[in-house]
Each structure stands twice: as C-alpha cells, then as structure tokens.
Amino acid sequence: MKSIMKKEASIAVIIIILSIVLSFINPVFLTIDNILDILKGNVVLGILAMGMTLVIITGGIDVSVAAVTTAVCVVIGKLLVMVPDHIGALFLLLVIACLLGIILGGINGFLVSKIEIPAIVVTLGTMSMINGIVLYVTNGQYLNSTDFPKVFLKFSNIKILGVSILIWLFFLIAILTWFLLKHTVMGREILAIGGNKESALRVGINFNKVQIFVFAYMGFLAGIAAIAQISYTKAVDPNGLSGLELSVIAAVVLGGTNIMGGRGTVIGTILGVLLLGIIQNGLILARIDIFWQKVVVGLIILLAVSYDHIQYKRAQAQLSRIEIDS
C-alpha cells in the first residue's frame, strides 16, 4: 500500500519540479487560463486512460481505443446533422454513443475471454477492421460544425464555475472509475486478477466475466470520449485520433500502472495524463526549438519512469531485508 502511494508521490514530484521550472521560464504557464487549456486539451486522452488503466491492471491491453472512438465519432457526426435542434436529441446521442462503445468494446472482451486470443492480437485485428470500415464509410471526409444542431454547440461551450463542462466530465469519469476500482466487488476482482491470476481463479473469481467487463467499460468510455472529442474540435475528422492509443498507453504507464498487470491507480493515471499534457504545453511556452521538443519529451518520460522504478526497487529491497532480518 505504501509503495503505491510513493509511486504517485514520485510522479507528483516530477510534475511539481517541471511546473516550477516552466513558470520561471514563462510566467504564463501558471495562469488559470493556461491550466484550464491544458486540462481541456487532454480530456479525451484522460477519459480513455481511465479505461485503459483497468484493462492494463488485468494484464491486457487495448490498442483499438482510438479506432473505436473514431468510429463512434463518425456515427455520432452522421446523426448530428440529422437530429432536430432539441435537448432530448442530445441525450439520445449520448446514450447511442455509450451503447455503441459498449458493443464494440464488448466484442473485444468476448474475443479475448471466450476464444482466448491474446488481447493485443484481438485489438489489433478490430482496430484494423474498424479503421477500414470508417475509411470506407467516410472516405476520409471531414465534417465541420456548420450543420451541427445549435444545442450541441451550446452544450460544448457550457462552463460551470468558469470551468468547461468537458473538464467536469473528465473528473466525473475519474471519480466513477476510482469508485469502481476501490469500492465494488468487480473492482477488487480486477485488481485480484492482475495481482495473481492463479489465486484469483482459485478463490472463485470469474475471469471471463471480469475481462468482458473491463473491455466493455473501455468501450463505454470510448463512447464518452467520442462525445468529448466532437465537442472539443466541433468537427469530425476521421484521421484526427490516429496514433492516440500510444499516448493513452504512455499516460497510463507513466502514471505507475504496471504494464504486466496487477498494479495501478486512478490518481496515478490522472498524474500521468497531466505530465504528458504539461510537457506538450510547456515546450512551446518554454520556447524550445521544435527539433529538440521530441528529444525533451522522450527524456522526461525516461526520467519519470526510471525515477519511479528506482523508488520501487528500493522499496522492494527494503522488504526483502526485513524478511531476512526477521
């Protein structure tokens, strides 16, 4: 338990140091306006990272998240230009987006658990299929907000206490995921399976059920992320999310989730998303030359992960010493 808290603390320390450095270089960094922009810009990444945390804790991985989100975006985009300008239509779309996401995620979960194909193979397959279908349906056509109903544009501009609704949405999802992981039987089962699959099976946890659940939950969040993405860009770009799955996985791993499964927290993932967002934002504010930005990004990621890993190893060493002593 303590080692998990330490893990988060180490990422937080890196974020704080980075923030201090950045605000010295450019005072704009610490303005509320800028921080809200960073948060808003990473809502889609953050929502997807929540689901990915659960998937990775069970020892799986889902590389089809960006494709699923794009597919939902495209379907919702097609519906958006058809629905009447009414608040009810908005809720209907939200429900459709979630259902569609759950179905697509459920297919992944079904293939992974029932047919026992490794998760990376399944999701690579579904990613390719979904991308192909999306390309066929849209022909790459970009859809802009001219034909969107006004109520949708109004929704995406709502601010509560000066903070965009998208950011609230992200926090809502984070709390939901935290609650799920911490206080429900399902959440405990997810952690148990990631920790030690054999013992989890022996105490009677239904492995298939848990796997289908995490992939369906991932799909559900992809549906929500699709709505957030359309609200954020006020457009549907079939190519706009390509490659996002890598950032999502990077954020989760940066946040201290073990890529082999078993370890991971919601807070950690939030910090991972923040770190990625701050790096992206800070590099322009710090006026670092474009060619060096990529080098710096890689450097910070390596630093963060190795710092974190060294901490972890130290804790482990301490543990084994105690065992010898006793």
Partner 1 sequence: MKKLKFFVSLLFLFGLLAGCVSQNSATSNKSANNGQASETKNDANGKLKIAVVPKLVGIPYFNAAEKGALQAGKDLGVDVIYTGPTEADAAQQVKIIEDLISQKVDVIAVAPNDPASLTPVLKKAKEQGIKVIDWDTPADQSIVELSIHQIDDEIYGRHIAKTLIEKIGTDKGEIAILTGGLSAANLNAWIDAAKKELEENYPGIKLVTDKIATDEKQQVAYQKTLDLIKSYPNLKGIMAFSTPAPLGAAQAIQEKGLQNKITVVGTALPKDSKPFLEDQSLDVAILWEPNKLGYLTVALAKDLVEGKKPQDGQNIDNVGKIEVKEDGKTVIMGPPTDFTAENAGNYDF
Q: Which residues bind partner 1 (CB under 8 A)?
A: 26, 28, 31, 33-34, 37, 41, 110-111, 114-115, 129, 132, 135, 138-142, 144-146, 229, 232-235, 237, 239-240, 243, 280-281, 284-285, 287, 289-291
Please, how many CA atoms are within 13 Å of residue 12, restricted to the half-sphere of its CB? 9
Rank residues 58 and 281 by Cβ distance to partner 1 and give the closer one: 281
- Distances in Å between the alpha carbon of 127 and those of 65, 113, 243? 8, 18, 11
Rank residues 107 and 221 by Cβ distance to partner 1 and give the closer one: 107
- Of 2, 31, 42, 14, give the one whose Cα is nearest residue 248: 42
- Distances in Å between the alpha carbon of 156 and those of 89, 151, 161, 204, 234? 14, 9, 15, 45, 8
Q: Shortest distance, CB of residue 140 to partner 1, whole angstroms?
A: 4
Rank residues 164 and 265 by Cβ distance to partner 1 and give the closer one: 164
Rank residues 237 and 245 by Cβ distance to partner 1 and give the closer one: 237
- Of 217, 224, 223, 222, give the one whose Cα is nearest residue 180: 217
Rank residues 199 and 239 by Cβ distance to partner 1 and give the closer one: 239
Q: Shortest distance, CB of residue 324 to partner 1, whole angstroms?
A: 48
Rank residues 111 and 191 by Cβ distance to partner 1 and give the closer one: 111
Q: Shortest distance, CB of residue 66 to partner 1, whole angstroms?
A: 12
Q: Looking at this protein, which amino acid is placed at residue 172?
A: L
Helices (H), 184-289: 185-195, 197-202, 207-233, 244-254, 266-285
Chain centre to alpha carbon of residue 315: 28
Q: Shortest distance, CB of residue 303 to partner 1, whole angstroms?
A: 22
Instruction: Give the DSSP per-residue string, 156-170.
Output: HH-EETTEEHHHHHH
Q: Shortest distance, CB of residue 139 to partner 1, whole angstroms?
A: 5
Q: Shortest distance, CB of residue 127 to partner 1, whole angstroms?
A: 13
Q: Shortest distance, CB of residue 309 to partner 1, whole angstroms?
A: 29
Helices (H), 58-164: 65-80, 87-114, 119-138, 150-157
- Of 164, 220, 181, 161, give the one whose Cα is nearest residue 56: 181
Q: Shortest distance, CB of residue 145 to partner 1, whole angstroms?
A: 6
The answer to whether 166 touches 228, Cβ cutoff 8 Å, is yes
Rank residues 105 and 268 by Cβ distance to partner 1 and give the closer one: 105
